[in-house]
Structure 1
Amino acid sequence: MTSLISTPFDARSTAAEVIDGVDLTGRRAVVTGGASGIGVETARALAGAGAEVTLAVRDVAAGERTAAEIAEGTGGPVLVAPLDLADRASVGAFTAAWDGPLHILVNNAGVMAAPESRTSEGWELQFATNHLGHFALATGLHGALAAEGARVVSVSSSAHLRSPVVFEDVHFERRPYDPWLAYGQSKTANVLFAVEVTRRWAGDGIATNALMPGGIRTRLQRHVTDEELARLRAQAGAGAPDWKTPEQGAATSVLVAASPLLDGVSGRYFEDCAEAAPNEPGSPRGVAAYALDPEAAERLWDLSVETLA
């Protein structure tokens, strides 16, 4: 096995520290879910380094407020565009409207542990939003990403350790719905996406990595009670990581998106600003072997193409 990548940064590092000294002038970035949580801090860091940032958001009014606040602090152009990842027409409209190269795509938006819900096509909402929507977005923007060699950031989670992609019943049509298994499956899909993009698009100069941002209290947990969060942390035992601030939570995303330390690196999974080691049974850290499995990655890509056809 090749040695794991480390950096001078760690779990306590902030997005601003990671991007300090990096010049993104003339670069264009899209951050999905950029109006809340770590998306805001990811966008702020990229804009502060000189990038033109587009917040791709469901709530355009909230996006406009966030864009104005970031622009006031950074002086950089911060744009807003509507994007509902669970709506194929919305994703198609976004990709059709994009003009020119795209240098950084941060697939950050998501839903966590949501009650059972389905899209108009009948797809399970978490898989549809967290994976299929981002898959359609990235493939729809492929030409823009390939134009000048881009980085695609796939925000996953340690929750991927809860479930592989269950190809036999992705949408919980034959098994009982479990919000955490559905979330875990979608987060595994985020890692497999990075693996397969690396295989398919490396020749286009596109690098893609997945990451675990850490535990951050944001609106992402709106479907999870405080009692449930406490139970999950107790279940993780002594290995449960400390809570991070949003600024710390965005650090690994920003590292993957823009740091020259990762030039030429693709298809890997990072946590706490370093490449993660293989998961040990019972540990809440590291990456599951099934999330890096090239056969599963190819199978997921084919399934996604077929589903969205």
Structure 2
Amino acid sequence: MTVTETVARRTSELDQAIDQEFRREQRLRARDLGLAILTPIVLLALWELAAATGVLDSRLFSPPSAIAERGAEMVADGSLAVHIGATVGRLALGFVAGSILGVFAGLIMGVVRPIRAALSPTFTALYALPKIAILPLLLLIFGLTETPKILAVAISVFFVVQINTLAGITQIDPRILESARAYKATGIRLFLNVLLPAAAPAIMTGLRVAAGMSVIVVTAVEFVASNNGLGYLIWNSWQLFQPATMFVGLIVVSVIGALVTGLIIVLERVLLPWRNSNSLKKKETKK
């Protein structure tokens, strides 16, 4: 067998191995998707069966069919849309404001050492403080308006994003910064071309963590300081002993949390394409 034939045979074997691995990864993805869809369906079916047979008290644990019926009624009369709109509005404003300020503060603290030395202990102490605990102070200052609810979310998001952004900046290899400065990268050029891209993975991780926390905080705030929103819906339903309505609120809150996290994941894939899955890399290699 000649050298050319040997190389061609090994190339063919490599292509087959890559193709097999890619097909295996595709099968695993399809299986994982099927399990992700099937699991909640099975759990809901078991819940419905347990309520119908008396294993669960349907007065406390409304069966999925009753919850769906109640949800349809709330959609039809528009009450659910009102509560969703109130919660999503507070969540969006607080999340965006907290994220922008958190990224800015993290970048400044990462670049300017005196500012980092001055603010890090204070920020560490404030981060450990339960964010819902500052709600009475915000209510005292701003009254029963939308401002304290939005600020509670923004403050929660701010500290998570700031900590992750600062970690991303401080973990940059000093040699990268030296090379950037050698090529006259200063000011806005250093920020856009070096600091922000290098810290982007840590920032996106912070946003994903903050997304879940923001949903928790806005719901908790609405428990005690609101007359609308999903948190209010859940708490008021509990007080009035309306478990089906309460479960509707809980399910919608969980869906909103999943959607917010999913949007962050999509944004991460768009902004950080190099962090795509190994299967995509293998597909490109095969091509």
- Shorter chain as denominator, the TM-score bin is under 0.3
TM-score (norm 2): 0.24
Higher relative strand content: 1
TM-score (norm 1): 0.23
Higher relative helix content: 2
Q: Which of structures 1 and 2 has the bigger CA Rg?
A: 2
